[in-house]
């Protein structure tokens, strides 16, 4: 019976409204008190039923809830024959609960949209080579899948063949389609807007990036911030205190109606709902814009950050070294570049890959007698010539002649933070290349936004040499730069900052960053980083989009500010209502309940503003 009544709560609300209208119509229009009394009485009994059931369920677990206060107030009003008041109070309480649930559902819409975007089926290649539609749960790692125009990518994978443009908004928050071709990575839940591709499944089910997003966001919603925990404790004692106050007022004033009115006006509904709705809306906004905030506590701490520490490679920089400078010491360089590309193709070193990528398509030669010099480079026979490719130490070992211009070029390249690749043929220097990791586009502007948001210290820590780190810091306008930092040095530095009273966030992407991510008050992982870094962190920037970091900080500050606003609104309304009972003549239960439910809607609507939050600068 209890379950049935609670399931019909909205129907009861409508019937109560109709009965109240009938009651006032007969009372004021037809002067028929009998019908009016019966209408108000039935409306009161129907309306209080679901409220009383919820009060009973709360008392069973030793909680004096808002429903308990309202039930006592309505029953009291009913027995003192204040039927209009009891009918209106029950209706307003039920109608307020309906509107509250409706608006709360809207704040959770961002999360609901995510779950609805999860792919349900996939075109899987069977043993006979044909593609058959199967449920996405039937896809295993290594399976080959076909994705057609307009379809959702079912798993995280790598493109085997075909090309097209994919909308990755569900992962990165960026609506501009991204071009995909052979060897490109794709994410589950993204949409192929044009083209047809075949992919091999790398991660499936809950292990996909999209699956982790949903899991992390759901976990975040279930977590509670310090403010929420405080309010839970406050409500636990506040609600019984209101009940005691009402009893004391009744004993001393002998005015049962005044005591009942205090019960209604003292309900802390807006206070209880205000902070959670802000958190849910803030987390939902982040999820829609490529930022995962792992819980309400994260929002509280992140909003107070005054120092952000960055790993350099893969965070401030792209993490993919490229040839940035080149100097040629001969007229016809094509043949030498062919020698260089041929030798570098023999190596898996990042610098060698950067050189091969930079040279592009050239005539290649057979490489013989390859000798890898540890810490120096490679010496090989190419087309009858002795070719040495490596650093300055290797050139000196090979007795390569370097004139003043070459030495000046080397010094200049090093000053720019380059790693050097020199190429000598038969003892003569032919080509000098400077290779360095490129700073992420737009990072400088993003760092300026962080400063405007109140971050006082921007620090870079890197295992690279101090000169290279200083150049990055100088170009980006960072506060401090420290090179030659091992993982233990980074975590020790962060520990020192925390001991000095700073609220520290650390941004990184690798396994070596995990100790620092765990130690900092807020750990921020780049979404394309390692699983360990992502699991250890408190905030994840999907698709390693650095521009999401200012949005994340601005969002947490707006959310924390929104929480405080809701607390002040809730407390202010209760104080005004209680004061008006003792110092005014116009306040009664009906008006009090109307204002009470109105305050709940105000804090919910205030929280919902966060769903539209965008960083303005």
CA 59 to chain centre: 38
Q: How many domains does the chain have?
A: 3
Give the domain-ending residue among 396, 411, 436. Answer: 436
Look at 479 and 63; give whichever has higher pLDDT.
479
Q: Is the pLDDT of residue 217 over 60?
A: no
CA angle 460, 463, 469 (to 5 degrees): 45
pLDDT at res. 530: 47
CB 202 within 8 A of CB 158: yes
Same domain, 297 and 331: no
Q: Is residue 528 part of a domain?
A: yes
Same domain, 406 and 448: no
Structural tokens at position 614: 């965008």
Q: Is the pLDDT of residue 356 over 60?
A: yes
In whole angstroms, what is the distance from residue 140 CA to residue 469 CA?
Answer: 43
Q: Supply the mean pLDDT for the chain.
A: 82
Q: What is the mean pLDDT of residues 474-491?
A: 85
pLDDT at res. 109: 52
Q: Is the pLDDT of residue 200 over 90?
A: yes
Same domain, 313 and 445: yes
- Report pLDDT digits (tens) over 116-145: 667 888 999 998 889 999 998 889 999 999
pLDDT at res. 42: 92
CATH code (residue 502): 3.40.50.1000
- pLDDT confidence bin for 173, thresholds 50/70/90: very low
Q: Is residue 128 part of a domain?
A: yes
pLDDT at res. 321: 82
pLDDT at res. 370: 84
Q: Is residue 251 part of a domain?
A: no
Q: Is the pLDDT of residue 214 over 80?
A: no
- Report pLDDT digits (tens) over 427-463: 999 999 988 878 888 999 999 999 999 999 999 988 7
pLDDT at res. 213: 62
Q: Of 67, 301, 311, 509, which residue is the catalytic one?
A: 311
Range of the domain at 168: 118-151+156-203
CA 292 to chain centre: 2
Look at 125 and 259; give whichever has higher pLDDT.
125
Same domain, 140 and 175: yes
pLDDT at res. 146: 93
CATH code (residue 428): 3.40.1110.10
Same domain, 328 and 429: yes
Least confident of 79-93, 236-250, 433-447, 528-542: 528-542
Q: Is residue 565 part of a domain?
A: no
In whole angstroms, what is the distance from residue 459 CA to residue 451 CA?
Answer: 12
CB 147 within 8 A of CB 180: no
Same domain, 446 and 408: no
Same domain, 458 and 520: yes
Q: Is the pLDDT of residue 221 over 60?
A: no
In whole angstroms, what is the distance from residue 546 CA to residue 118 CA?
Answer: 25
- Report pLDDT digits (tens) over 286-311: 888 888 887 777 888 899 999 999 98
pLDDT at res. 105: 61
Partners of 367 in the beta sheet? 382
pLDDT at res. 111: 52
Strands (E), 88-243: 121-125, 131-135, 144-147, 156-167, 178-180, 185-186, 191-203
Q: What is the mean pLDDT of residues 192-204?
A: 89
CATH code (residue 180): 2.70.150.10
Structural tokens at position 20: 């109240």
pLDDT at res. 220: 47
Identify the top-confidence range among 184-188, 461-465, 581-585. 184-188
Q: Is residue 219 part of a domain?
A: no
Q: Is residue 422 part of a domain?
A: yes
pLDDT at res. 108: 52
pLDDT at res. 505: 94
Identify the top-confidence range among 168-177, 363-372, 448-457. 448-457
Same domain, 416 and 459: no
Strands (E), 361-406: 367-373, 377-382, 385-390
Structural tokens at position 574: 């209760």
Q: Is residue 245 part of a domain?
A: no
Same domain, 285 and 362: no
In whole angstroms, what is the distance from residue 460 CA to residue 506 CA?
Answer: 10
Same domain, 411 and 312: no
Same domain, 503 and 548: yes
Contacts of 525 by beta carbon, 8 Å cutoff, 6+ apart: 507, 508, 509, 513, 517, 533, 534, 536, 537, 539, 540, 541
pLDDT at res. 561: 93
Q: Is residue 598 part of a domain?
A: no
Give the domain-ending residue among 419, 436, 453. Answer: 436
Give the domain-ending residue among 557, 581, 599. Answer: 557
**Closest C-alpha to 490, from 309, 306, 307, 305:** 309
Strands (E), 509-579: 522-526, 539-541
Q: Is the pLDDT of residue 381 over 50?
A: yes
- Report pLDDT digits (tens) over 385-402: 999 998 888 898 889 888
Same domain, 512 and 446: yes
Q: What is the mean pLDDT of residues 10-34?
A: 88
For this structure, is 403 an active site residue? Answer: no
Query: What DSSP state is assigned to residue 383?
Result: T
């Amino acid at each position: 019976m209890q379950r049935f009544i609670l399931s019909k709560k909205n129907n009861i609300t409508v019937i109560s409204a109709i009965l109240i209208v009938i009651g006032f119509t007969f009372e004021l229009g037809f002067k028929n008190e009998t019908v009016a009394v019966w209408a108000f009485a039935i409306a009161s009994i129907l309306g209080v039923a679901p409220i009383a059931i919820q009060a009973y369920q709360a008392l069973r677990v030793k909680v004096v809830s808002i429903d308990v206060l309202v039930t006592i107030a309505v029953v009291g009003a009913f027995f003192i024959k204040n039927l209009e008041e009891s009918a209106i109070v029950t209706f307003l309480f039920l109608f307020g609960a309906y509107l509250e649930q409706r608006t709360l559902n809207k704040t959770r819409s961002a999360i609901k949209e995510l779950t609805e975007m999860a792919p349900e089926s996939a075109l899987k290649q069977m043993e006979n080579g044909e593609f058959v539609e199967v449920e996405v749960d039937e896809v295993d790692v290594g399976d080959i899948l076909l994705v057609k125009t307009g379809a959702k990518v079912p798993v995280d994978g790598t493109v085997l063949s075909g090309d097209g443009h994919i909308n990755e908004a569900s992962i990165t928050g960026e609506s501009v389609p991204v071009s995909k071709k052979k060897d490109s990575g794709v994410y589950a839940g993204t949409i192929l807007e044009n083209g047809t591709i075949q992919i091999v499944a790398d991660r499936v089910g809950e292990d996909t990036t999209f699956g982790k997003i949903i899991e992390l966001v759901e976990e975040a919603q279930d977590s509670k911030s310090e403010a929420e925990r405080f309010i839970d404790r406050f409500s636990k004692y506040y609600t019984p205190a209101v009940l005691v106050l009402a009893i004391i007022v009744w004993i001393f004033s002998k005015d049962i109606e005044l005591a009942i009115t205090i019960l209604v006006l003292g309900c802390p509904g807006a206070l209880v709902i205000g902070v959670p709705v802000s958190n849910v809306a803030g987390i939902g906004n982040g999820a829609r814009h490529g930022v995962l905030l792992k819980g309400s506590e994260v929002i509280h701490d992140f909003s107070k950050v005054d120092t952000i520490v960055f790993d350099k490679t893969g965070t401030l920089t792209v993490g993919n070294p490229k040839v940035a400078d080149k100097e040629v010491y001969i007229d016809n360089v094509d043949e030498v570049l062919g020698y260089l590309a041929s030798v570098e193709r023999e190596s898996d070193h990042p610098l060698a890959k950067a050189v091969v990528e930079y040279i592009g398509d050239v005539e290649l030669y057979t490489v013989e007698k390859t000798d890898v010099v540890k810490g120096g480079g490679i010496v090989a026979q190419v087309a009858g010539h002795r070719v040495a490719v490596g650093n300055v130490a290797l050139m000196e070992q090979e007795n390569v002649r370097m004139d003043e211009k070459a030495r000046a070029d080397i010094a200049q390249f090093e000053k720019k933070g380059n790693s050097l690749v020199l190429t000598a043929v038969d003892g003569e220097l032919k080509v000098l290349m400077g290779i360095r990791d490129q700073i992420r586009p737009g990072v400088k502007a993003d760092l300026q936004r962080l400063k405007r948001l109140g971050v006082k210290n921007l620090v870079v820590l890197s295992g690279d040499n101090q000169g290279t780190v200083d150049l990055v810091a100088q170009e980006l306008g960072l506060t401090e730069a420290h090179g030659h930092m091992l993982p233990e040095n980074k975590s020790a530095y962060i520990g020192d900052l925390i001991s000095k009273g700073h609220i520290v966030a650390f941004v990184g992407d690798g396994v070596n960053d995990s100790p620092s991510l765990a130690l900092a008050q807020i750990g921020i992982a780049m979404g394309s980083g390692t699983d360990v870094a992502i699991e250890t962190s408190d905030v994840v920037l999907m698709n390693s989009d650095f521009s999401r970091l200012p949005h994340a900080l601005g969002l947490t500050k707006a959310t924390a500010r929104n929480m405080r606003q809701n607390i002040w609104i809730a407390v202010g309304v209760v104080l005004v209502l209680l004061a008006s009972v003792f110092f005014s003549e116009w306040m009664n239960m009906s008006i009090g309940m109307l204002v009470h439910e109105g305050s709940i809607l105000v804090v919910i609507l205030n929280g919902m503003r966060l769903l539209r939050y965008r960083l303005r600068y």
